[in-house]
Amino acid sequence: MDDVRETSAWVATHSSHVLVDSSGIEKVVENIQGSIPKVEWDYEGIHYFDNGPLSVQYLFVLDALNFCFWPDKDLNYDHLASGLKAALQNDKSAFDADRLQKYTGPELRELLKWPRPLPLEDERVRLLHEVGFELERNFGGKASNLVESCGKSAAKLVALVTRHFAGFRDHSVYKGHQVFLYKRAQIFVADLWGAFKGQGYGEFYDIGSITMFADYVVPAVLEQLGVLKYSSRLANIIETNNEISSGSEEEVELRACSVYAVEKMKELIRIKSGKQVLSVELDLWLWSVGVQCPALQHHRTLSIYY
């Protein structure tokens, strides 16, 4: 995860459209007084969990599809998580590796009980096929075998996921420099850790190596908190709901500066209070703040990465 931290820091120090405001970070840290509100992983009760290998399979399928809901204003993450949960409760073989390789767009819609084409539906189907194929080829069809092969290392699991599953290789080139973000690979680790409460399949001796997950919601929350400042041009693009191209300077800065800002928040909390806060915990808190604010305006990018 050093690549994610280092390349995000490079973006933050060379950015043209997004500024990480250290005084904004200080105010946030001062307000929370070294103790971020505790948010339980499944506080809404929308995830499938049976404390076994099927839960791991569910989470991997969930995180393979966890991106780009905004083009359909009625669709969100909760629909995906609860829809997949219901599908698995109805048919325990729904996410078997051989079946994942055969789903069509209409069948995925039916699985989720969604009445119309999903955003980037063809890509979602392609990624399901990829997950099924690679799990079958390398891990006996089971995501639990993938997790068991990481030796309880979060960083190694992210490396394994991005090595074997091309759809999780979330990186860009920014001003000639490669930038690594790995949002969905990292959130798979965090989901395991949260679901299994740091035990069994969710036990990682280096969970602190995981960064925040650069998506739509957290950058918008950080901007509202005064941690991120946007150029007037970027602010106007977001306020008018105009699309920002995937891989553009603005998009990479929004995501990488968010990673850098959360790392700085974590560091300042440690210095001021002596408490070790995980980036995962900060991210979950910031994300929960964002999803409870329907009026929050976020950037719009068509992307399979978040």
Q: Which residue pairs, CB below 8 angstroms and at least 24 apart, start in 133-140?
A: 133/97, 133/101, 134/164, 134/165, 135/60, 135/97, 135/100, 136/97, 136/98, 136/101, 138/164
215 belongs to the catalytic site: yes
**Cβ density class 201-240: b for 16+ within 10 Å, e for less:** bbebeebebbbbbbbbbbbbbbbebebbbbeeebeebbee
Angle at CA of residue 197, ends 2 and 165, nearest 5°: 50
- Given the structure tokens 């790995």, which residue do they identify? 182
Tell me if residue 237 falls in helix, strand or coil: helix
Helix (H) or strand (E) holding 180: strand 177-180
- Amino acid identity of 148? E
Kindly give, in sequence order, each residue whose CB lies less than 8 Å from that of residue 151, ignoring residues fewer than 6 positions away: none
Backbone angles phi, psi at 19, to 5 degrees: -115, 130
Q: Are 251 and 262 in contact (CB under 8 A)?
A: no
Query: From CA 248, how far away is CA 172, in angstroms rounded?
Result: 9
Q: Which of 170, 191, 215, 283 is catalytic?
A: 215
- Residues designated as active site: 215
